[in-house]
Structure 1
Amino acid sequence: MTTILLKNAVIVTMNAERSIVCGDLLIENDRIKDIGQLDVTADKVVNAGGQLVIPGLIQTHIHLCQTLFRGQADDLELLDWLKLRIWPLEGAHDTESLYWSALLGIGELFKGGTTAIIDMETVHHTEAAFQAIVDSGIRALSGKCMMDYGQEVPATLMENTADSLQQSVDLLEKWHGQGNGRLQYAFAPRFVVSCTEDLLRQVEKLSKQYHVKVHTHASENKGEIALVQAERKMRNIVYFDHLGLADGNLILAHCIWLDDEEVSILQRQGVKVVHCPSCNLKLGSGIARIPEMLERGIHVSIGADGAPCNNNLDGFTEMRTASLIQKPIYGPTAMPAWQTFALATVGGARAMGLEKEIGSLEIGKKADLAMVDLRKLHCSPQAGSDVYAQLVYQARASDVTLTMVDGQVVYEQGCLATIDEAVVLRQANTALERVRRRAGIV
């Protein structure tokens, strides 16, 4: 048995009462053992000295496979971004380049207090990313990208429908539950534009057979919606509902351009929506109607998306942006800090189907957490400040001093514990050069 004691902390529990406790937090193995004023010994003692201890941030739409391509596809709209840069680069990945891309992203996530993600990989070499997830210690819902349709999909990514399905099932059966349960599988058809109806119907059946989630994109861009309307004769959400996919196991990234019928389907069917504010701004895609969705009880969480459309994986930036962009539209009281922080913690846990395990700091839950030092110029003075406002509007990823997943310290005081940062930086640069050459990008 291993025990860790975090002492003298301000513990932002995110429990049902939203309790904030000034005291200590005891971890035993991978779970929270006790919270309060504790008089106990432990194998490792960390004196928080008044720092905040928060639930680990949960980002519910990430592409670890794309971290290598940060800065390679700037100032483009979605479909050009995909066709001209991202698809050729993804198709040029090899096993090693994907492994280092995933570790590069995970290291950044850890240093910013993110402990769990919903991730979509590329079409090939998915096991390399899964190995990086298991090796690093992050918690992830992840799956192989599925693409079996589309005139402009490069040959390096185009799949045969049967092969795509079989490879996905093989990955699920081998990797689901690996890493002490930290890695869980999700079917990941890219979006309607690059998937046949046959593939999507089979995904619906397989997800129910194996009791796993489906993670895809929807209604991010007006051009994408026009393509779906022309080919499938329905809008995205209506089409998913028609296929039987629209239910509580469906996780949809973006959902910017929805009509009232689609919003009603999301509400009625319990579909999970992921808001990616920085990506949506950078690609010029638009601003999702998040306050309206929340008012109607639609489940929303937050993610950075991939590094090439952001260009970082900073959960604090996403929270701040998510709050600020709604205020010119809905007024200054829209998306208050407490609500946005909930989307990034308990909301993310619910999207993953893990609300009984993570998302809040409570006795018996998994020890997934981060420690944040607000004793900085940009967070001062603090007297009378609301803790949620500090976290959402003032805090930065660089304020994180410790990150823990499953009771394991993965980052502490500037140093990654499970990832060799120097090696990753060196290997990532070498891998990018190789992938660019293979993709014909010079």
Structure 2
Amino acid sequence: MTSSVSDIKRLFIGQIELEGRRAMGYILSCGDVIEAVGHGTPPTVECVEVETFPEPMTIKQGDFNAHSHPEQSIYTDLVDRSWDLGTWCRNTIYRYSPFITPKQVRLACRRAFGRIALLGASSVMVSFYLHGGKGNVNDREVIAAAKDVGIRLIFGRMTYDMVSPQAYEGKKKAQESYYESPDQGEAYLRELMADEGPTVMVAPAVHSMHASTAQAIERAINLGYDLKRPVQFHLSEDQGDVDISLKEHGVRPVVFLKSMVDSCRIPGLGRLVFSDCCWLDDQERSIMADCSIPVVLNPRMNHRVGVGESDLPSLLSSGISVFLGTDGEASNDDLSVQGEREFLKGRYSGVLSSSKIEALGRQPFQFLDGEIGPLAPGRLCDFVVESDGRTVHLFVGAEPVVRDGTLVNLDMEGDIEAPLAEEIEAMKKTVEI
């Protein structure tokens, strides 16, 4: 009897890092799921494909880049590192994004996902709001780019339903291109779920206190509970979002969200995933811990554009689960999750142990009916094979995405960099508003 793709068994053998210990071991996968993993002699199983990784290579859990704006990789070579957030936005997204084409979105996301994979991340969670008044046209290009590369994607389809009347013309035009009503956002989200697959999950998201109305926030959270999906939310990235919440609702952002639970507008906060969180207070951290809300920190980006700093020691001491992201490549040094850890080690030297920081972002996370995370039976078979800190191979669902330091499915120069360079030159000719 011929095995189907879903039950093909593969055996990977080599030095493997499990629970902080490195020794000879194995991963046995059945389809895209880990059936067995451990140190020592692998089990005897018939009809398996066997691959052995010689020393000094080490098999490790693949990283999870838990917050990314991949289309922003198109701006990477156009930015000045001295720009603060407002200047950065004026010269990148507010200048160009209203005119971005589907082709440009796909190429920029290929660049981002390709670089993320080559840096050892097997999964990425995206926040995307560049809908451009075209429904899911641009959104599908992000998903297509992830499939082109082979990386696992949690696609947060974001509702952005506010246009600032006092904004300068370029910003207002950009916001108008992002705008969708909560009804439109939900309809397009449900439509886009048809594009899901073994490596793609679509989830609701909202932008922030400054770009999403209370109605959009309420709708997204209810959708998260209805669909059993995470709901991404930029929370208090800068002081301005706190000020908006205090002015509009009389309380800080997390307290406002808790009030929506107390008034029965939403069933809870446990589906939310907050990013940034630079301006929390103790009461907000307490609510987040009680509601089991995880946080995604983007420390290098926050530092570079000068918006503030997340209080990592207080988050950890509150019992809040912390993941790591890189935000957009153009506002960061690169797309390395390990780079975020190294930055935090320097920032909190003598305050937090290196081992505690190394553990950040390595905990389990829901993916459809499965789970990404530490290598264990029942989890999705995503792992990296490293040598001296360099990604040699990367596997997603037991399928190769990187081989010998090179993307398997795309040529980085011919399929990404060369055509993207042409598109960037075309984009630079866009008339500035």
Do both proteins adopt the same fold according to a TM-score greater than 0.5, normalized to the shorter chain? Answer: yes
Name the SS for the 1:288 alignment partner: coil
1:370 matches 2:384:
yes
Q: Which residue of 1 aligns with 2:69?
A: 63
CA distance in 1, matches of 2:377, 2:217: 40
Using the TM superposition, give the Cα deviation of residue 282 of structure 1 relative to its aligned residue in structure 2, in angstroms. Answer: 0.5
Q: 1:29 to 1:209 in 2, by over 3 A?
A: closer
Q: Is the 8 A contact 2:207 2:233 kept in 1?
A: yes
Cα offset, 1:357, TM superposition: 2.6
Structure 1: any 5+ residue segments left out of the alignment? 375-394
Give the SS at the match of 1:281.
helix
Match of 1:431, as an amino acid?
A: E
Match of 2:401 among 407, 410, 416: 410
Equivalent position of 2:119 in the other structure: 112
Q: Quick check: 1:139 aligned with 2:152? A: yes
1:297 Cα offset (Å): 0.8
Listed as ranges, the matches of 1:234-273 within 5 Å are 234-244=251-261, 247-273=269-295
Aligned partner of 1:179 among 178, 197, 208: 197
CA shift for structure 1 position 218? 1.2
Do residues 22 (structure 1) and 24 (structure 2) align? yes
Provide the rounded CA distance (Å) in 2 between the counterparts of 1:221 and 1:170. Answer: 29
SS at match of 1:323: helix
Q: Match for 1:138: what amino acid?
A: I
Determine the C-alpha separation between the residues in 2 that align with 1:313 and 1:220.
19
Match of 1:318 among 334, 340, 351: 340
Task: Give the conservation status (yes or no) of the 8 Å contact 1:146–1:159.
Answer: no
- 1:12 paired with 2:14, answer no
Q: Is the 8 A contact 2:63 2:120 kept in 1?
A: yes
Aligned Cα RMSD in Å?
Answer: 2.5
Change (3 A) 1:436 1:122: farther
1:275-321 per-position Cα deviation (integer Å, ceiling 9, x unaligned): 11111111122221112111111111111111111031012111111
Q: Tell me the residue number matched to 2:176.
A: 158
Q: Name the CA distance, whole Å, in 1 between partners of 2:23 and 2:315.
A: 31
Give 1:394-433 correspondences, 5 Å limit. 395=389, 399-422=390-413, 423-433=415-425
> What is the total number of aligned residue pairs between the two structures?
405
Write the letter of the residue equivalent to 2:214.
E
Identify the residue that residue 135 of structure 2 maps to in structure 1.
Answer: none
| Residues 1:293 and 2:329 are matched in the alignment | no
Q: Whole-Å Cα distance in 2 between the matches of residues 160 and 105 of structure 1?
A: 21
Identity %: 21
2:333 is equivalent to residue 341 of structure 1? no
Pairwise CA distance, 1:371 = 0.8
Contact 1:73–1:86 (Cα < 8 Å) also in 2: no
Aligned to 1:31: 33
**Unpaired stretches in structure 2, ≥5 consecutive residues:** 132-137
> How far apart are residue 80 of structure 1 and its match?
3.4
| 2:98 paired residue among 81, 91, 94 | 91
Q: Secondary structure at the match of 2:429?
A: helix
Matched position secondary structure for 2:122: strand
- Deviations 1:165-197, CA, capped at 9 Å, x for gaps: 4244333343367222x2112222221101222
Picking from 417, 429, 432, the partner of 1:437 is: 429
2 CA distance for matches of 1:71 and 1:236? 35
Give the TM-score normalised by the residue count of structure 2. 0.85
Q: 1:32 to 1:82 in 2, by over 3 A?
A: same
Deviations 1:218-272 (Å, cap 9, x if unpaired)? Answer: 1111234334433443322222223346612111111011112211111121111
Offset of 1:353 from its aligned partner?
5.9
Structural mapping, 1:34-53, within 5 Å:
34-35=36-37, 36-38=40-42, 42-53=48-59
